[in-house]
Structure 1
């Protein structure tokens, strides 16, 4: 089993799949850091994670993935305080909403892809120093409904399609990250947790929330079950040979052919570097 010292858990670690993942890893003795933008919800989540895991080594740090400057400030603070980073879990995700980040990116693309892209790159040095280490990025099987348009990566006309594109970007990001980290002791995985009954509907109207509560009760899985593939990729011994792969139900899963194009993954990486201002 991978030695656990630090788990960095992104915004979303205070609820849903993120919180259940944090509990599962805290139960295994991990030092857990959840990064959230809402300090009150984060503090409440930390108390619950400690109570359920009997692990007092759980804390939170402030992070707003919709603001590139805030991401840089978070990484600077994290690197000053923490000398190891064994597992980075990019759990945060915005649903299909028509909104914009502080840097004028569509909310889905800005948070779901660019925020994780910048954060991961700024922490790669610590991950390599802590090798063997792992990076897990949550995606969704909805990726298959859209392809990227490099003339308009910031597409924000139809929220559901924007969400699908951001989830496809997560997959390409993981593939190119795994290629770049080959031989450096850092492995990367994209994970579809299933359709999970969580609080993602909070961004929508009351009527929609009521409707989705019925749908989720009938067809979606609980958060604890949805976290299992994330935990598997974080701690299982056999996954390291599958770096860059897409996981579902605790095993590598097939992707649509267009989602396995290394030239597109490389092109997205280079475009993302320009968009977030990485050298």
Structure 2
């Protein structure tokens, strides 16, 4: 009987936002299979709990299968079986469009996890029409930008205490078309779903680069990434006419969620990026960013604007 060996993430605790489906679920599954204790967030409590249980079961099976293959190779084909592994996946229901919910989520995570080694800011989406959140903010900006900003700030002391730790934020290739409308961040005067999305993904990179500068010397790294074009429920809630036409045409060329999660998993777990911070990745390699992302004055200005919008004091 072969024993399972601890995975490379054994003893590590990870939080993945938006982990009930798509890239987030695949990220959570990949990291749980590597041995991490993983927490996932989702809007619906029942669905989040169900996803957590399913991910744990699938991760345990994947770990056991990997151990069995290793044992089989070691014994050169003699009969052997790996012990069924276990995986710990926790459910944290939260509507990330609500700042009160983000704050409640942070409190729950801090109570549940004495240490936090990795935060994966994965949650995000596209909405063709302008919606206001419970806080009176534009929905795209609230979910894609302010939720990771606020959650990261609320968990930052725990991440620092757990150093070396990592913060991974999912952006998009759409950042290349983004501009930061400082005079209309909420799209009150002129809203376009695509423009709002492009801006939000560029804002995530500005946030990450500024965060990396602020975290220098703490042992906590911050990186961001483009997952590629992935088959998910992207834009399903409120799709534009253009997306309704394009998505069926693009589906044959889209990655699976598992492949889309590869760079997130890499940045969360690989020793190859130990100490690497303030970098935008695509396909597990550093990639070119919108020139605006390297404007430190714009990053500082955006940080201050975000801090004001979530009610935090900008240090």
Q: Deviations over 1:45-90 (max 9, x none)?
A: 1122122111331110121111111111111222122101000000
Is residue 2:141 matched to residue 1:109?
Answer: yes
Q: Does the 8 Å contact 2:16/2:38 carry over to 1? A: yes
Structure 1 stretch displaced more, 73-82 or 113-122: 73-82
**Structure 2 gap ranges (5+):** 1-7, 61-85
Normalising by structure 1, we get a TM-score of 0.94
Aligned 1:224-239 pairs, distance under 5 A: 224-239=258-273
**Higher-helix-fraction structure:** 1
Structure 1 stretch displaced more, 94-103 or 26-35: 94-103
Is residue 2:168 matched to residue 1:168?
Answer: no
Counterpart in the other structure of 2:290: 256
Q: Distance in 1 between matches of 2:113 and 2:144?
A: 24
Q: Does the 8 Å contact 1:168/1:259 carry over to 2? A: yes
Q: Does the 8 Å contact 2:126/2:238 carry over to 1? A: no
Counterpart in the other structure of 1:32: 38
Structure 1 stretch displaced more, 13-22 or 97-106: 97-106
Q: Secondary structure at the match of 2:104?
A: helix
Counterpart in the other structure of 1:6: 13
Q: Does the 8 Å contact 2:41/2:91 carry over to 1? A: yes
Indicate how the Cα distance of structure 1 residues 205 and 66 shifts in structure 2: closer, same or farther if over 3 A, else same: closer
**Structure 1 gap ranges (5+):** none
Indicate how the Cα distance of structure 1 residues 206 and 150 shifts in structure 2: closer, same or farther if over 3 A, else same: closer
Aligned 1:70-219 pairs, distance under 5 A: 70-98=101-129, 99-155=131-187, 157-204=191-238, 211=245, 214-219=248-253
Q: Distance in 2 between matches of 1:137 and 1:265?
A: 16
Cα RMSD of the aligned pairs, angstroms, is: 1.9
Q: Distance in 2 between matches of 1:211 and 1:239?
A: 38
Q: Does the 8 Å contact 1:2/1:237 carry over to 2? A: no
- Give the structure with higher Rg (CA): 2
